[in-house]
Amino acid sequence: MSTIPSERSSSSDTPKIDWLEIVRQNVAGLRFGSVQITVHEGRVTQVESIEKTRFVASRDDGGQK
């Protein structure tokens, strides 16, 4: 999971981060997983990305566990 600093104040020297672009980048970077958007008082406050790694079961195990 990657962390991107958020907008902390409304001063002109703080760059505004486009949350929609962050979501696009996270989705584009995933093969399997999810992107979760957290909203607080009508504003997007957090975007989380969870990547999953899938393993395919081998058929060479002879049916033994």
Is residue 25 a part of any domain in this protein? yes
Is residue 29 a part of any domain in this protein? yes
Alpha-carbon distances, residue 8 vs 3, 26, 30, 41, 45 (angstroms): 14, 21, 27, 15, 10
pTM passes above 0.75? no
At residue 20, φ and ψ (nearest 5 deg) are: -65, -35
**Count of the separate structural domains present in the chain:** 1
Q: pLDDT tens for residues 2-57?
A: 555 544 444 455 567 799 999 999 999 999 999 999 999 999 999 999 999 988 88
Q: What is the pLDDT of residue 8?
A: 44
Q: Cβ(4)–Cβ(44) under 8 Å?
A: no
Is residue 14 a part of any domain in this protein? no
Is residue 35 a part of any domain in this protein? yes
Domain that holds residue 44: 19-54
